[in-house]
Structure 1
């Protein structure tokens, strides 16, 4: 081996699909680092290790939900109090969706989510909760029959869309708005098809809808037809009828 070849060998390292050169070359081999019982434990917090945790969350979610029948995801505020009109609407929606042949999927928390899960359970349907790890621990509400807890929001959001045939959105805060606009974007860009989105509560959603119409569409940031991507209602039967019609059930 010539001096130039030897120098190149020292300056280039292939670790599976990864190529490292010059000062980025790491000492030892991948097997050596795997079998070495000594060393820094910070590797469990590295991005490659996080990829495995992300992968495991997808596998667990897919495995838990793959055999669900047709389902509707119901969103709404965790701060909705029991006994309020919004909470009672959540119960009624959960029951009506089950009676229409759907499983009910929520974020698994309290408030509006609990109400929809409760309605589904009381109607003897399938009540699903997809929880998320948060600094303030909430846990899954007692009306969830199938529950999966996630570390990562984007994995959880994938499950909401993948295993649901539509969304019903009760009044809610930033998390609810996040899910709503995620769904609208997926439908607008045709990443998903035949995906009804129903906003429940005309008074609550009215200001947002008017802003979309007068400002977003009015200034050319979206088209008029984008306003047809969702429906607004105060009627439980109409909400269930809309998702039933658009899903072809």
Structure 2
């Protein structure tokens, strides 16, 4: 049983029940030494990060608990789970290189640390914490994944179209999940974040002056953060927990592609060090289907990764639809569709693979969410 707040821990301590099997995650245990000691045998209690003063640590270890300390010399808190954009872009006024996002990438690619056992452990703990929090975030929600190229410019018709698609899906009650990067991914997250078509158009207009993240990530992110504030207002105390209940826009990026900064139009961000875990996690959580916009090698890889579970699905296993948008692109420019047809022929997956001309054709092919989304003030 995971305990993620001091209120939950207080209730459990007051109940007098054994602490064995509890996982105390990222809590400040200052002043709780006596109450923990009163339980005597603490075997099976695991403390994951947080603040554990020496006196409390002594009680825990003496009682048989396992304590994973906080990690002070890494640029990330491995126990924290999900992020909001302000977490990753703090300090942007000093340039992108000063932000936690850029510093985490620099630490990740440091040749001296790539195979260091300690750093490998930190990254693994971090990604596991993200997965745990992401599972809680999407539980019971209808999630549509949108795939597409990172090179789509903010001033293009393709960008406006992806933004319109994200908005339509969110208005229908879906959580819009992307790879969390620039281009089509950013556009879909922007559309989902906005509550009206006019807000979508105005946000796109605001950021079109910096069409891409090259050569200046600082300018690209700065104008986007200004546009975000115009949509949602100032968010000085925003956390994944406070945004989660009404969130419509989810990004799942990776530091593996450090040259692609995360976009700021996600309500919450699940950022991974492992790209393999990240890609699989995005597809698995797209329970209401996957929509594929124009893309190149990375998008093609994701298409076949999404199709493989459909190909091997059991007879009684539900299949979520995969919709490719852009007939000419997927049959001529990057002729993926003929290969998909060949794989699907005679299989159940044939019924859920779709090729459409425009984004307007997408929504009718997706299952409706189980319940309407809860509107908020945005």
Fold agreement, TM-score > 0.5 = yes
Q: Pick which of 79-88 and 236-245 moved more.
A: 236-245
1:45 to 1:89, Cα distance in 2 relative to 1, 3 A: same
**Residue 209 (structure 2) pairs with residue 139 (structure 1):** no
Task: Indicate the residue corresponding to 1:73 in structure 2.
Answer: 145
Point out where structure 1 has 5 or more consecutive residues left out of the alignment.
1-41
- The one of 127, 130, 155 equivalent to 1:57 is 127
Secondary structure, in 3 states, of the residue corresponding to 2:137? coil
Alpha-carbon distance between aligned partners in 2 of 1:103 and 1:170, rounded to the nearest angstrom: 17
Task: Indicate the residue corresponding to 1:230 in structure 2.
Answer: 353
Scaled by the length of structure 2, the TM-score of the pair is: 0.48
Task: Indicate the residue corresponding to 1:199 in structure 2.
Answer: 324
Deviation at 1:81, TM superposition (A): 1.1
- Structure 1, residues 25-71: CA drift from partner, whole Å, max 9, x if none? xxxxxxxxxxxxxxxxx998367974673354133223134233211
Alpha-carbon distance between aligned partners in 2 of 1:115 and 1:44, rounded to the nearest angstrom: 33
Q: Pick which of 62-71 and 140-149 moved more.
A: 62-71
Q: Would the aligned equivalents of 2:256 and 2:274 in 1 still touch at CA under 8 Å?
A: no
Q: Would the aligned equivalents of 2:150 and 2:184 in 1 still touch at CA under 8 Å?
A: yes
**Larger strand share, 1 or 2:** 1
Q: Tell me the number of residue pairs that the alignment of Structure 1 and Structure 2 aligns.
A: 202
- The one of 104, 112, 126 equivalent to 2:248 is 126
1:82 to 1:202, Cα distance in 2 relative to 1, 3 A: same
Q: Would the aligned equivalents of 2:319 and 2:352 in 1 still touch at CA under 8 Å?
A: no
Q: Would the aligned equivalents of 2:113 and 2:119 in 1 still touch at CA under 8 Å?
A: yes
Deviation at 1:186, TM superposition (A): 0.9
Alpha-carbon distance between aligned partners in 1 of 2:346 and 2:312, rounded to the nearest angstrom: 15
Secondary structure, in 3 states, of the residue corresponding to 2:252? strand
1:242 to 1:212, Cα distance in 2 relative to 1, 3 A: same
Aligned-residue CA RMSD (Å): 2.9
Task: Indicate the residue corresponding to 1:151 in structure 2.
Answer: 273
- The one of 200, 212, 219 equivalent to 2:339 is 212
Task: Indicate the residue corresponding to 2:183 in structure 1.
Answer: 111
Q: Would the aligned equivalents of 1:96 and 1:236 in 2 still touch at CA under 8 Å?
A: no
- Structure 1, residues 190-225: CA drift from partner, whole Å, max 9, x if none? 176321100011111123255427xx83xxx76454
- The one of 285, 303, 328 equivalent to 1:180 is 303
Deviation at 1:164, TM superposition (A): 1.5
Scaled by the length of structure 1, the TM-score of the pair is: 0.70
Deviation at 1:136, TM superposition (A): 4.3
Secondary structure, in 3 states, of the residue corresponding to 1:185? helix
Q: Would the aligned equivalents of 2:291 and 2:323 in 1 still touch at CA under 8 Å?
A: yes
Point out where structure 2 has 5 or more consecutive residues left out of the alignment.
1-111, 197-246, 372-378
Q: Would the aligned equivalents of 1:184 and 1:229 in 2 still touch at CA under 8 Å?
A: no
